[in-house]
Structure 1
Amino acid sequence: MPRSAIAADAADHVLTVEKIPEMLLRYAQHPYAALARQGPAGEKGGSEDLTGVLALLRTRLHFDFSGYKPGTLVRRVRRRMGLRHVERMPDYLQLLRSDPGEVKTLFKDLLIGVTRFYRDREAWNYLEEQLLPSLLRGREAGAPLRVWVAGCGTGEEAYSLGMLLIEQSQSAEWNGPIQIFASDVDKEALDIARTGIYPESIAADVPPGRLRRFFLQDGTHYRVNKELREAIVFAEQNLIADPPFSKLDLISCRNLLIYLSADVQKRIISLLHFALAEGGYLFLGSAESIGSAEDLFETMSKRWRTYRRIGATRYEMLSLPTAAHRPTPELLADPLAPSKANRLLTRVQQQLLERYAPAGVVINRRHEILLFVGRTDLYLTQPAGAPTDDLLTRVREGLQTRLRGLVRQVVTDHESQAIAVRVRRDNVWHRVRVAVEPIQLSGDTEGLLLVSFADDEEAKPRPAPEAAGAAVTERDDSVVRQLEAELKASREDLQGTVAGMEASNEELTAANEEVMSVNEELQSTNEELETSKEELQSLNEELNTVNAQLQSKLDELERTNNDLDNLLTSTNIATVFLDGHLRIRRFTAAVTRLFTLIPSDVGRPLADIAPTFTDPALLTDATTVLKTLTPRQSEVATREGRWYMRQVLPYRTQDNRIEGVVITFSDVAAEALQGARFDLEAALNKLAANEARLRTTLDTAADAIITIDESGRVQSFNLTAEKMFGYSATEVMGKNVSMLMPLPYSKEHDGYLTRYRETGVAHIIGIGREVEGLRKNGTRVPLDLSLSEFTDSTGRKFTGILRDLTERKQAAQWRREHESQLAHLLRANTAGEFAAGLAHQLNQPLAALANDIAACQARLGAGRAPGVRALLKHATAEAQRAGAILRRFRDLIRKKPQRWERADLREIIRDAGELMRPEMARQQVAFDLRLPPDPLPVRVDRVEIEQVILNLMQNALDSVEDVRRHGRISARAIRLHAARDVGELARVSVEDSGAGISEEVAGR
């Protein structure tokens, strides 16, 4: 926050912490502070000294503060003098002349820009709930709503009013344009208002709903949205010197008039009256009022200072500024312009003629006569002294008191009233009827009254007391004169009291405005003090943070220093640090072998220290490195014959500044040994990595990999080998590999190794062959073996790669079996084709046989050889049955697509039974066919289902025949029966007296 205040130029002084108390004491001892402690009495005097200050402000900034209240100006100027520690006004004036920044600061201080959103919340509630709905009620949709916010400052009041207008127009369903003009004399405040960016603290003043609708959060700030921003036009304007806006429906001029003098206030009130449209509203601050302009405005709420424009424009009080400041034309000196007067006279005369045709006058609410009608001299006079237009002063004796009350009643009730009074004229009392009524005309006549006079014709005039001396005694005349004198004195006392009361009210109003002005200034000062307090708190927090950071840095520096000390103490590299003048700054313990250094040598030039080696170029190289920043190195030898690599490098700080050199001495022999160690360690690491990769490859290989030595002992055994043989690596490591081979392979292997050791001849190296392996569980496994040879530091080694051939052999067996089945199917197909041809050839002999039988039957004739005829009939039936069998046999073996049809399963079974019955009879097998009496309708391929039934019956016949071939005697029979199953399904069962199905066949 302090940095933000400095950047915004909002701080009066920017000081270090230790200088702040001194500045506060100087400010407290300044005369301004002493006068502030004295209260209002201390503010008197010294205003005459402001002439030069105001003239300088008017010259430099073109703004005239002469219309401001002197007390306000004195307090604000003295405040600046206290902040700048200037005690005399001439000295401060000289400061203003020499410091343009102080002129600008004083200008902003005199403006007192205290504002915030919805200041005086209850007044804004009244505006929202009553005044604005009344303003929008019945308003035409196309007519723009024009509003002026005078003295808007940084825009909070203008945006507050804009939000209310937008909400109320939507609630009233009024869609006309809203034009808000916001003006101020402070350019910087207007720039803030135009930007529309406010801090997060406005959330305390703006209701959450409006904050969400009309503002966009931008980091730690709120920005006015487009809808609200486009409704407001900000303009630079001096309310005192510049022309106003016009035809306005609402003017908000809050907490601005309290800083101005009474004359300027009166002029601005007339100006605002001129700027308002007929019936427009004026919204003032809680300590402001319209003063004596009661005939220009109707009070809507006295508490919340809201007024409505009435009456004509007071041109005699209106001072519209122009470029040349021309005086008001003489024709405006009349209460009403001639054109308006003629128009008004015509209207009033017409109204009087229609109703009374009496004498009368038109007055405003301040009893000022604006127009005479008829013979008013019968009721009005011109008193001695200065001319006056005050009606109550000019009426004749007997009218003043009653007429004052009558006018007040009409103004209050807005209704016509009339009374009868006695008026003294020419020493005679006349009975007169007086009527007062508001002028009911549109335009600028609102607030005007018509007062008419008419003599009562029925009442007879009565002489005045002095004219009736014969009827009145001298004593009565003396009493009357005394009463009249007392009455006149009482009236004069009452008028004096009323005038004094009005003057007191004006003084009290001015004092109240002064108090409110002081309160505004105090509030501004309080806000500044609050801001200063927050800044001090923020500064204190920042100081605490900085102290904590500093302590952290110190701790870090201490740790770094300890680390550096331990590094310098423990390192074996001889190092010495030199500053820019080649003086010793620090050195390691190892450097004492090369220089005779002790701790007290820090700060001495290196040239003063005797080295134990010969290096004439050392100091020259150090100087060169300081100039060129290029490292230099050289080999040097000590008196003991040890060689060192000497390097000189620039000493760089963190911000890349050169502050000396660093000289290091590295033992060449030690470095070479260290390098060899590094190389060896790197080679070992590489070997370990290769071994790990090889082990991973071996363990993930799909084949078993076994390594043996010359004696046949197992040296390695991968995971696949463990899975293949069932042994773990620990069970076979170091043992002869022949344990994994069945006989005779184990003996052949031992013999091969013996011959190889004796002759060195390798017969199977690099040659793949098929062998058998022996698992741990004793089973054998066919393997493909590939053998290779290599030599390492321990001698020859042999690596065998074995692949399991079990699946390959099973696949070969499966292939052989299926090839046999395929050959059988081919033969069966050939046989079927042959059988089909044979069936076709047999059909012809059967047909010829049937024809011959039929011819024999015809020749025998009826009744002859009945036995022969029976045999012929049977032969015919058998020939037909044989033909049917051949046709069905041909259909079975013929390749054709399936043909589904509805059929009676009983007929299919009978046909199949008839086909098998001759064979069963030949083998002497009893055939029992059991079918249900009701049909068994099914949807099948007739040929295929018949083939299935035939296969079942053939299998049963084979089973019965097999029993006979094995010499077992039993009743040979086949039973076939069919029945309805669940739903539309049918079940066919075949039973035989055979031995049943073997386990081998059932398994397939």
Structure 2
Amino acid sequence: MTNQLSAAADEVEDLLAYLRESRGFDFGGYKRTSLVRRIRHRMGQVGIGTYQAYLDLLQVDPAEFTALFNTILINVTGFFRDPETWALLRAEVIPSMLAERSPGDPLRIWSTGCSSGQEAYSLAMALAEELGLDNYLKQVKIYATDIDEDALAQARQASYPEVELEGVPAELRSKYFEARGGRFVFHPELRRTVIFGRNDLLQDAPISRVDLLLCRNTLMYFNAETQQRVLNRFHFALVPRGVLFLGRAEMLLGRSRLFEPIDLKLRIFRRVANRAVPTGRRAFDPHHTEQPIDRLHEHAFAATPVAQLVVGKDDTLLLLSDQAATLFGLSRRDLGRPIRELEVSYQPLALRGHLDRVQAERKPIRISEVEFGRPGGVVHWFEVHLNPVMDGSDLLGVSVVFHDVSSTRALRLEIDRVSRQLESTNAELQSTNEELETTNEELQSTVEELETTNEELQSTNEELETMNEELQSANDELQIINDAVRERSAELNDVNEFLESVLTAFSAGVVVVDHEMLVLAWNAAAQELWGVRGDEAEGRHLLNLDVGLPADVLRPLVRAALDNPSAPTEARIEAVNRRGRSITVRLVCSALRAPDGRQRGALLVMEPVD
């Protein structure tokens, strides 16, 4: 049984190694129990029982990677998730954070594990409410990262179904979302302040100078050692007194010297200065009294142009040059840590074995042709020197120097190639000269082609500038048209308000109908007389309204005015007002004409008489 478990564990590691090498996803820091459970779940979905068989499937079906990653990287999120925590953030944390900064200072926010973007947009709304929209747009930049490309694609759309907006208060929903085609789209101006990108917390460099960092329910998927690595990166990313916002389900492992709680229950913390290491570039010694010469040695070592480390005989990192920190992603917080916990212990080469050998033999070691690939495809070649640091016969530690020989290596390879050519026969040398001449001609041809291409690009650029000017002209014309439309709209509004004030000024009931006897206007006096509001009457047939005017008497009067517009018709009609009382109404019905003489409808003036 033990052998079976061991074999299964080896197969899991083989599978994880394949994922790391083929797709660049390193799940080595994830908790093994959770990771294995999710992989087994996906294997069950495709009907595969062994890890080796599933590895075979991944090798022949690239689409299976996406399904596996979606199973491992469970994207659970929502707007203003855990309302109690967000209430504290909005009521106390954000105002306090802003109070510590000068007005107009830029704010940088980092939302890690952002999934489909809900928490990043929740942050945008909270900050916009506190700062006001104009100040928010000038000051705030939110970086939202995840390793799930599909989730990032959804986040960039900023479009959500109504069910996902349940956590958004009604006033924020109406203010920051627009309904489009059955979905709700986030405020476009605020959307442009949120930058989405892929970032692996375990491998990629952290975003720096961050004022507020969200990492909600992401750390819980990592083991304790990996959590500490990520937290060290968060400490580096945050500005002094920057705020760290974790998920309610996470524990704070080993953070006492890095973060202090603002609210421990709600998992909101503030960055504190690193108390384990002073401002220098060497490990802190509480019994050491720093002297000027010590400072000189320290800064001279840090300023050396080569990447250099000093490892103590207890295998802890004691000294670190600035060049080494830049190349290998180290910082002063790493001083005093065991070298085996640092990435530099195995990349660009496995240091631990060489360190053990130097300490055992007390002799220097030189390792040539060490390749180191950096993000962006940049490759460095080093010659690494490991030298014992001795005090008489006592070993104090090991100095590790990384000499960058990238340029000299390229030159040496070229010299070796030429030397091999010189050692060949005269005929081969002649052939080489001919090839060089051909290469020179090809290079000349390439230069000419590049010059032609440059001319074409210049021409294209001029065309684009012309097009831009045309577009600007068209935009100016559209602006003029838009201004004219606004002026016309304002004039129409003034006319409507004037007509409304005229109708309101009548103490008698006034009703305007068109040819079809559909009500076009209904003033307040008519509402008072018959109990029907203007919005209820307008657009309906006059005779279909439930008022106290007898239709059999009203119809011929209106028709007479419509058919014979030369003179108004007048009658006294017995009717019932809105209170149900019988009244006598004097009704005058006149035709309405346009300025060109066309008939537009009829005007009815109704006034009770004693």
TM-score normalised by the shorter chain: which range applies?
0.3 to 0.5
The normalised TM-score by structure 2 is 0.45
The normalised TM-score by structure 1 is 0.28
The structure showing larger relative contact order (alpha-carbon pairs under 8 Å, at least 6 residues apart) is: 2
Query: Which protein shows a greater Rg?
Result: 1
